[in-house]
Amino acid sequence: MKHPVLLLLIFVLFSCEKTLPPEPVLPLPSERQLAWHELEFYAFVHFNMNTFTNMEWGFGNENPKLFNPTELDCRQWARVCKDAGMKGIILTAKHHDGFCLWPSEYTEHSVKNSDWKNGKGDVVRELSDACREYGLKFGVYLSPWDRNHSDYGNPEYLDYFRNQLRELLTNYGDVFEVWFDGANGGSGWYGGANEERRIDRETYYDWENTYKIVRELQPEACLFSDAGPDIRWVGNEEGWAMETNWAPIRRDEFYPGSPNYVELRTGHEDGTHWVPAEVDVSIRPGWYYHASEDHQVKTLPHLLDIYYNSIGRNASLLINFPVDTRGLIHEKDVEQVMKLANAIKNDFANNLALNKRVSATNIRGNSRSFKAGNAVDGNPDTYWTTDDGVIQSSLEIDFREPVEMNRFLVQEDIRLGQRVKQFKLEALVGNNWQTIARETTIGRKRILRFPNISASKLRLSIEDAKASPVISTIEVYKAPKVLAEPIINRNKNGMVSIKAFDSGLHIYYTTDGENPSENSLLYNEAFEWKKKGIIKALAVDAATGSFSPVSVAEFDVVKEKWKVVGELASAKGIENIFDGDESSAWSIEANAPVDVVIDLGESLAITGFNYLPDQGRWNPGIIFNYEFFVSEDGKNWGAPVSSGEFSNIKNSPIWQKKHLDTVQGRFIRLRALSSALEEGRIGIAEFGINTN
């Protein structure tokens, strides 16, 4: 009789014995890195001397008096970032021109010699206070390259640089990240020397000893550079990490500014140190404020791509605000970042996988501690994992009925290292299992976007990993479609194409000036439309009935017969000026007047012309003073029918429209008399006319 009781007791004792978690896979994140991983989304602010000189890289000889914001309000920056769901702000305390936003004891090149607040101001103080007030983390960018300092390039400069670092890390409270730029050495003012100074990027800064200062003064702070040691650059400034993205890298192969930076985009599967990637990107083309970029703030679809291609690919996201000359984040930037914040909120509003029934092909020790349900319990501290040696395994979520979805989010518990090398996502649609995606790494967070499907089950299969997969979180969402207004284009030959930003949307359009609706023409593919008039379009999400704002494009005569004649007839890129694509341009270096002569192919009653300057970022071609002529035969031109300037075109290089008293002619000539830029380049992105 006693025997079975004993057996039961032994069984109970045995099954209570704790199954041990899997051994970690090295390298592992440190505590400070784990805390940083949680931030995910935070802001960069580029604001100092360049803001006032309209530069990206100042030379170092700027007069400190030029720094003079009229309405500086760091609390506005903090409010915007807080509202946008960002967790901190990193400030360019000193950029390459050496100008300091705090009254450093070690230089005269700082706010203390500006008129701003009579030299008593301190932007670093104001921002660190504002961050504390708004519950944001505060970080500093201190440029290692200093084009102002006479000692730059000599060992003495290092003392100066380190003294400044000490000031920043001692006087302004907690710092969460210290940002060291890889752009180092080159021409500069250097205290009046005005010369080129190259340094050995690998050895000059003696980084190890500089890092020690940060560890000593701000032990919680993460150090950022191309080479970490805590956080690495992602190898581009466009806003993306690669799909394959390992947090580990072979750290000793890098230094700030090292030439093998492309490898930073993927990290190394056999990386020796945990150095996760941070994606840094500006909300505008430039890092610094330029009024000329007010019309180029990134659109919602672009910002969403950046979000999914960074945070959704095992990286963090650092979005830059080029604070303007008032000392404020510009209204347009605020508008766009709030669109992003709202879209993210809506995309991740309702986790369809939360506490759903799940099963797995293998559960470590058959233990409840490692059950499949841990991945969908909403608790990031629990995880599903498998027995040692069992790598290929899958986890299935049973929704019990078809559910519409288009996002899949998965996380590894990185406290045990980054493991997964390859995975697959399948969905049960009707009675068929469909492969939705086949991907490589997961890491701290991976988010997949796919077109809407209606699935009753989802299956995550781990196909390859360094050891047992450790999956802490799986979430599934149905994000609303991005309903931005469609883009309407017509090329030279009169083919009209209309593009919506999201997949699966219906586009409706009109060609009669009426507002489009679901009863209008449905757009399927590019169509020929050579008439004069207005095309309007809108995108509709058929499932929800919601629609985008209406986009409107006005077209005059089709440019099919147009030809550039005369001297520029075969100039390189001249065809770009009427290809309907605003991003392509023709431009040249020009000191003397330049004539662009166009044969319209027929005589027309011309009532005006439209000019869009080159939209390129570096030394674009922009005409300032002009004359415009019309002729019947291309020989006798007479006096200009319009002349003058394109006012404010340098700051605002948008479409310029000029009206004329009607003039008949077959040939037109735009004479560029001067460039809007000192470099003297003139150019055209698009050119058009209005006719009667």
Residues near ligand FUL (CB under 6 A) are 56-57, 181-183, 280, 287
Our CB check for ligand FUL shows the closer of 47 and 399 to be 47
Return d(Cα 513, Cα 491) in angstroms, integer.
20
For 156-181, give one letter per residue: b (16+ CB within 10 A) or e: ebbebbbebbebbbeebeebbbbbbb
Identify whether 21 is preceded by a cis peptide bond (ω within 30 of 0).
no
Q: How far is the CB of 230 from ligand FUL (least distance, A)?
A: 17
Number of neighbours of residue 332 by Cβ within 10 angstroms: 16
Our CB check for ligand FUL shows the closer of 57 and 384 to be 57
Identify whether 27 is preceded by a cis peptide bond (ω within 30 of 0).
yes
Query: How far apart are the two ends of the chain, measured CA to CA in Å?
Result: 109
CA-based nearest residue to 609, from 551, 512, 684, 531: 684
The alpha carbons of the chain give a radius of gyration, in whole angstroms, of 30
Number of neighbours of residue 568 by Cβ within 10 angstroms: 17
Our CB check for ligand FUL shows the closer of 92 and 576 to be 92
Decide the pairing of beta strands 642-645 and 625-631.
antiparallel
Our CB check for ligand FUL shows the closer of 116 and 287 to be 287
User: For residues 387 and 409, is the Cβ–Cβ distance under 8 A?
Assistant: no
Residue nearest to ligand FUL (CB): 183
Return d(Cα 148, Cα 189) in angstroms, integer.
6
Our CB check for ligand FUL shows the closer of 277 and 376 to be 277
Q: How far is the CB of 280 from ligand FUL (least distance, A)?
A: 5
Our CB check for ligand FUL shows the closer of 183 and 568 to be 183
Our CB check for ligand FUL shows the closer of 204 and 562 to be 204
Chain centre distance of CA 27: 29
Our CB check for ligand FUL shows the closer of 92 and 325 to be 92
Return d(Cα 142, Cα 256) in angstroms, integer.
13
Q: How far is the CB of 286 from ligand FUL (least distance, A)?
A: 9
User: For residues 61 and 148, is the Cβ–Cβ distance under 8 A?
Assistant: yes
Q: How far is the CB of 223 from ligand FUL (least distance, A)?
A: 16
Length of the chain equals 692
| The 3-state secondary structure of 218-270, one letter per residue | CCCCEEEECCCCCEEECCCCCCCCCCCCCCEECHHHCCCCCCCHHHHHCCCCC
Q: How far is the CB of 145 from ligand FUL (least distance, A)?
A: 8
User: For residues 174 and 35, is the Cβ–Cβ distance under 8 A?
Assistant: no
Return d(Cα 273, Cα 271) in angstroms, integer.
6
Q: How far is the CB of 153 from ligand FUL (least distance, A)?
A: 18
Q: How far is the CB of 320 from ligand FUL (least distance, A)?
A: 7
Return d(Cα 87, Cα 134) in angstroms, integer.
10
Q: How far is the CB of 55 from ligand FUL (least distance, A)?
A: 10
Our CB check for ligand FUL shows the closer of 52 and 508 to be 52
Whole-angstrom CA distances from 122 to 73, 127, 140 are 12, 9, 14
Q: How far is the CB of 527 from ligand FUL (least distance, A)?
A: 44
Beta-strand ranges (E) seen in 137-234 are 137-142, 177-179, 186-188, 195-197, 222-225, 231-233
Our CB check for ligand FUL shows the closer of 183 and 550 to be 183
Q: How far is the CB of 95 from ligand FUL (least distance, A)?
A: 6
Q: How far is the CB of 631 from ligand FUL (least distance, A)?
A: 48
Whole-angstrom CA distances from 547 to 228, 265, 420, 436, 543 are 45, 37, 40, 27, 11
Q: What is the token pair recorded at 559?
A: 């440019």
Our CB check for ligand FUL shows the closer of 56 and 174 to be 56
Our CB check for ligand FUL shows the closer of 293 and 627 to be 293
Our CB check for ligand FUL shows the closer of 181 and 230 to be 181
Q: How far is the CB of 279 from ligand FUL (least distance, A)?
A: 11
Q: How far is the CB of 58 from ligand FUL (least distance, A)?
A: 10
Return d(Cα 245, Cα 414) in angstroms, integer.
13
